[in-house]
Structure 1
C-alpha cells in the first residue's frame, strides 16, 4: 500500500474526482494508523449500501497496541433528502450527492490524545457544490507544548492556501467543538469549516486542494503525536480520568455533532454513524476535580479563544 497520499486523476467529473480521492485517502490513512499502532493488527472492513444509492465502507481497528478503537469511515451516497433535512441545509432541491471520510481515534493510554478528522463534499440537485470538514485534538491531560505544535502545523498548512483560513477556521472550531451544557471546549480545538462553496469561496481545484491538505496534515501530525506519547507512563487515577473525559466526548457526538445527525436523517448505517463513540466511558454525578490537581489544570484550558500558538 502506498505510504503517500494519492493524487486524483484530473480528467474525471468533480464528484468522481472527489469520491476517488476519498476512497484512496481512507486506504492511505488506515495504512499510517496501523503502522503507528505497531501491534500488527489490520482494520476490519464492513461494506454497506445506502437505500437511495451508493454506500460506503467502515473500517475499524480494535484492541490495538496503542489504539483501543480506531475508526476510518468512507461514504459516497446520493438520493433525496427529507423535506425537513433539505430545509435545515437550506436546499431548494432535495436531491443530493455526498462523499467523505470521517475519522476518530480512542487510544488506550490517557497520555495519547483522542483525535478526530473529517472531510466531505456535497452536491445539491440545483448544481451548487461545497466542501466541509474539520479536525481537532482532545487530550485527556492538556500538554501546552503539544497543543502549540499542533496549531503551528495547522497555521502553516492554512497559509499555503489562504492567509485568512487559520484565524477563521480556528475560531469556527472553538465555537463548534464546544459543549454549551458543560461550558467547556471538547479539547484544544483545531479547525472547522463548512459550506466552502465552489465559485463564491474559490475554484473547485483550490478548495479540493485545501481539503486534501487537511487530510494529509491529520495523518502526519497524529502519527507524530502517537510516537511522542505512546510510551509515557500513567496511573490508575489518570486512566479513570480518561474514562470521564471520554464521557464528555460521547456527549458532544450524540448531542451536538452535525455529521451524526446528517447520517441518521439520511438513513446511513447506524453502526458506522456511531463508530465515533468510545469503547468505554464513565459518568459520575457532580464530579469536581481536586483543587490544584492535574485534572483541574487541564479543565482550566478547556475554553474558547485560547491562542495556542503563544500559550505557555
Structure 2
C-alpha cells in the first residue's frame, strides 16, 4: 500500500478546511468567513479563516497552517524529542487544521477540533488530533449522542481507540487549578506512528475520519439548539464558562504554547478566544440549579456510551 506523503497530507487538510467552512456557513445562514493568508518568518505559513456575528456562531475560527524550520531546543522539549543529534540541528514540518467555535446561544455548545501531522528531518513522524465539546449547560442526551458519533469513527478503525482516546481527552482537557474538566471531553490522541500492525496509510485514514466527522456533528447541534430560548441568567453563565475556556487555553493548552514558541502568527494562535468572557470572584451556583448540575458533570471518567 502506497504511504501518504507530507504534500498529500497538506493538500488534504486544505480541502478539509474548505469543506468545513462551507458546511458551517450553510448551517449558520448569514455568517461568512474572512480569510487572512500569512507567512511565518522561519518558514511556511497558513490560512486563518474567522467568522464573526453570524446568526448562530458569534465568533469562530477555522485555521490551516503548514510551517517548517529548524527545531529549537524549546520546540524539541515541547515535542518530547530531547535526544537529537547535536552536529546538525533537526528541522520540522508541521501542518494541521484547528477549529474553535463560540456560539451566540448559550444552549449551543462550544466545540474544538484539531488534526495535525508532524514530521522531523530525522525520519520521525506522527499524527495527532481530536474533537471535544464544551456545553455551557450539559444535557446528558446530547453528550451521549456526541460520544456515540466519536466511538463510531474510532470503532471503524480500531475498537481500542475510543476508550483509550476518550480517557486521554479527559486527562488533557482538565483544568487542574479548578479541578474540573473543560467540558464533556471527546477524544484526543497524539504521537500516532506506524507499528508492526498499523501503517501510515491506516493511521491517516483514521485521522481523516476524525476530521470528516466534525462538520456533521457540529451542524447537528447548530440546527437542534439554535432557536432554544435563553435569558440574561443563561448569558451570564455563558460568560463564566467562556472564562474557564480562556483559562485552559492560555495556561494549559500545549498547542497554544507550541504556536507561540515556534513564532507562529499570534492572531491565528489566539483566535480560539471567545468574543467576551467573565469572571466572578468566588462564584458558587445555587444548589440544585442547572448551573450546579452542569458543574457536577465536569469530571473525568463519565461513561457516556
Indicate whether the TM-score tops 0.5. Answer: yes
The answer on whether the counterparts of 1:128 and 1:198 sit within 8 Å (CA) in structure 2 is no
Structure 1 unaligned spans of 5+: 1-9
Deviation at 1:186, TM superposition (A): 0.6
2:294 paired with 1:303:
no
9, 13, 36: which one aligns with 1:22 = 13
2:258 paired with 1:258:
no
Q: After superposition, where does 1:59-78 map in structure 2 within 5 Å?
A: 59-78=49-68
Identify which range, 77-86 or 123-132, moves more after superposition.
Answer: 77-86
Q: Which residue of 1 aligns with 2:273?
A: 277
135, 138, 151: which one aligns with 1:139 = 135
2:219 paired with 1:223:
yes
- For residues 97 and 294 of structure 1, do their structure 2 counterparts lie closer, same or farther at Cα, with a shift above 3 Å needed? same
- Residues of 2 paired with 1:201 and 1:94: CA distance? 28
- Residues of 2 paired with 1:12 and 1:193: CA distance? 21
TM-score, normalised on structure 2?
0.95
Q: After superposition, where does 1:1-312 map in structure 2 within 5 Å?
A: 14-39=5-30, 41-91=31-81, 92=84, 94-199=90-195, 202-309=198-305
SS in 2 for 1:160: helix
- Residues of 2 paired with 1:20 and 1:257: CA distance? 26
User: Deviations 1:173-200 (Å, cap 9, x if unpaired)?
Assistant: 0000100100000111100000001346
Identify which range, 13-22 or 293-302, moves more after superposition.
Answer: 13-22
Identify which range, 83-92 or 245-254, moves more after superposition.
Answer: 83-92
SS in 2 for 1:195: strand
Deviation at 1:53, TM superposition (A): 1.5
Q: What is the aligned-residue RMSD (CA, Å)? A: 1.4
TM-score, normalised on structure 1?
0.93
Deviation at 1:14, TM superposition (A): 1.0
Deviation at 1:212, TM superposition (A): 0.7
- Residues of 1 paired with 2:212 and 2:78: CA distance? 31
Q: Relative contact order (C-alpha < 8 Å, sep 6+): which is higher? A: 2
Q: How many residues align?
A: 299
The answer on whether the counterparts of 1:253 and 1:260 sit within 8 Å (CA) in structure 2 is yes
SS in 1 for 2:122: coil
- For residues 31 and 217 of structure 1, do their structure 2 counterparts lie closer, same or farther at Cα, with a shift above 3 Å needed? same
Deviation at 1:115, TM superposition (A): 0.4
- Residues of 1 paired with 2:210 and 2:244: CA distance? 25
- Residues of 1 paired with 2:53 and 2:196: CA distance? 45
- Residues of 2 paired with 1:218 and 1:79: CA distance? 30
- For residues 297 and 13 of structure 1, do their structure 2 counterparts lie closer, same or farther at Cα, with a shift above 3 Å needed? closer
SS in 2 for 1:308: coil
Deviation at 1:85, TM superposition (A): 1.9
The answer on whether the counterparts of 1:69 and 1:106 sit within 8 Å (CA) in structure 2 is yes
User: Deviations 1:235-280 (Å, cap 9, x if unpaired)?
Assistant: 1100110000000000000001111000000000000000000000
